[in-house]
Chain A
Amino acid sequence: MNAPLPDPMLPRVFRVEKVRRELSDTFTLEVVAVDGGDFAFLPGQFNLLYVFGVGAIPISISGDPADRSRIVHTTRAVGAVSRALNGLTVGDELGVTGPFGSMWPVEAAYGRDLVFVAGGVGLAPLRPAINFAMANRDRYGRVLVLYGARTPEDILFKKDLARWRGRFDMDVLVTVDRATGNWSGSVGVVTNLVLKGGFDPQQATAFVCGPEVMMRYGAQALEKRGIGRKHIWVSVERNMKCGCGLCGHCQWGPYFVCKDGPVFRYDRVAEMFSVAEL
């Protein structure tokens, strides 16, 4: 007789193993399952994190998909639940359901150039895809990470960016909107990097993640460089509750972001990006 399948809506209890303060309002939690089991996910997917007694919110997974021993989440403290998450310390427990949603099509992009365009905390949902690309580097053409942040102090995952930049088989370009201190890097919006980036637009697949306005202009810049809409993918955020398209909180036009997204092919959603208050 088969054992009953676990209820996907029942949170698994995880314990905080590591907390990293990334930026003034951004933090990373590394959590491991209290039951000792593995956790598998695909790049681009998200979990619902429950702070017991406070509530639950969807957070993208920012860790390495090859590492099933832990889940890594990076987010900003902007609301009641994320502020409560920010208050967790090593040893605290939280509930996790997931993984939910669609993935960055990293395998479908084998043989092509990969262009990652990230803005602000949008680098977090792209990180698993970048890790995947690095682990399968010989399967891709050129790999570029184009990242924009508000100021040099707001650059997320500085160590990762430095490590990726140190490789001889990928390019990392970083720009900031406002230079501060001794910043000697590029100043300007991330779309400028897209227009300069060294990739073959006919052979490139682009993954874009950041604030929605940035994604709109980022995708337009990629199109201007010659990448077809079918090869541009974006990750959309909406207020999600159930994670499986039942509650309707995350409806976005004809889609439920939680189950049809969060990763969408740009040609399917491009028009919705310019609809006000959708």
Chain B
Amino acid sequence: MAGTGDLSGTIGAQPFFDGIDAELRDLLAGCAAPMDFADGDALIRTGVIARAFYLIRAGEVEVMVEPPAGPPIVLETLGPGDVVGWSWLVPPHRGAFTARARGEVEALAFDGACLLGKMEAHPALGFEMLRRFVPVMAHRLSAARLQLLDLYGPDVPRPEMLEAEPEEPPPAPAAAGVRAEAEAAKASLAIVKNRAEDEP
């Protein structure tokens, strides 16, 4: 089993903890352990107390909703360098979604209760963790909103759909009609201009 010194180095090598202070890294190492998952293993389950978060070192994790009837709906896949789970940070600490290993997964697991205790005792660690978690949460929220938009779907208006729909082409006006229309437009423009000039 890896000692906390080894773990501290491993934690420091993770992009998520890039540039973290060595002292804080050692505090984190006291709450961390390497953990492997087999295909289909749940890292987090919907509604179940989330006791940890995970940093994926190898493999893929699916974040999904498991409806009572029908197959699970995968919302997102996460890979090496990604963080899985923040329910450990947010009361009542129950998983909002299920996260399952897709194939074999190697991860670093961080005990939530242990970390929360250390974050209370060491505000610098608390700040550091929030400073790193909040951008991830913001990115995921933004990505989820984009997914909701159904960007590529048929119902999103886009310029290419502004293509003219000449179902019934308008009849070509006679030249005299065009002249009359132009005169009428000129007259209405003159009215607008006069009104504008009258205003203080």
Contact = CB atoms under 8 A, between A and B. Distances in A.
Contacts of B149: 213
A188 B149 CA distance: 12
B147 A188 contact: yes
A25 B160 CA distance: 14
Nearest to B160: A237
A146 interface: no
A6 interface: no
Interface in A222-252: 236-239
Contacts of B19: none
B151 A214 contact: yes
A188 B76 contact: yes
Given A80-B167, A177-B150, A239 B162 contact: yes
B25 to A, nearest CB: 23
A212 B142 contact: no
Interface string B71-107: 0011111010100000000000000000000100000
Nearest to A191: B143
A12 interface: no
Given A81-B164, A150-B150, A150-B153, A237 B158 contact: yes
Contacts of A183: 74
B79 A196 contact: yes
Nearest to B75: A187
Contacts of A25: 154
B165 interface: yes
Interface residues of B, number: 31
Interface in A180-205: 183-189, 191-192, 195-196
A112 B73 CA distance: 39
A78 interface: yes
A120 B152 contact: yes
A105 interface: no
Contacts of A55: 164, 166
A184 B102 contact: yes
A119 B151 contact: yes
Contact of A189 (B62, B147, B160, B162): B147
User: Which interface residue of B147, B151, B159 has the most chain A CB atoms within 10 A?
Assistant: B151
**Interface residue tally of chain A, by bracket?**
35 or more
Interface string A200-223: 000000000011111001000000
B147 A177 contact: yes
Contacts of A126: none
A80 B163 CA distance: 8
A191 B154 contact: no
Interface string A51-62: 000110100000
User: Which interface residue of A120, A185, A211 has the most chain B CB atoms within 10 A?
Assistant: A211
A119 B152 CA distance: 7
B140 to A, nearest CB: 9
B97 to A, nearest CB: 12
B155 to A, nearest CB: 11
B166 A188 contact: no
A187 B164 contact: no
B156 interface: yes
Nearest to A192: B143
Interface of A: 25, 54-55, 57, 75-76, 78-82, 119-121, 148-150, 154, 175, 177-179, 183-189, 191-192, 195-196, 210-214, 217, 236-239
Given A79-B164, A178-B73, 10 more contacts: A150-B151, A150-B152, A175-B77, A177-B150, A210-B151, A212-B159, A236-B159, A237-B158, A237-B159, A237-B160
17 contacts: A78-B160, A78-B161, A79-B163, A79-B165, A80-B167, A120-B152, A121-B152, A179-B74, A187-B62, A187-B74, A187-B76, A188-B147, A192-B143, A210-B152, A213-B151, A237-B158, A237-B159
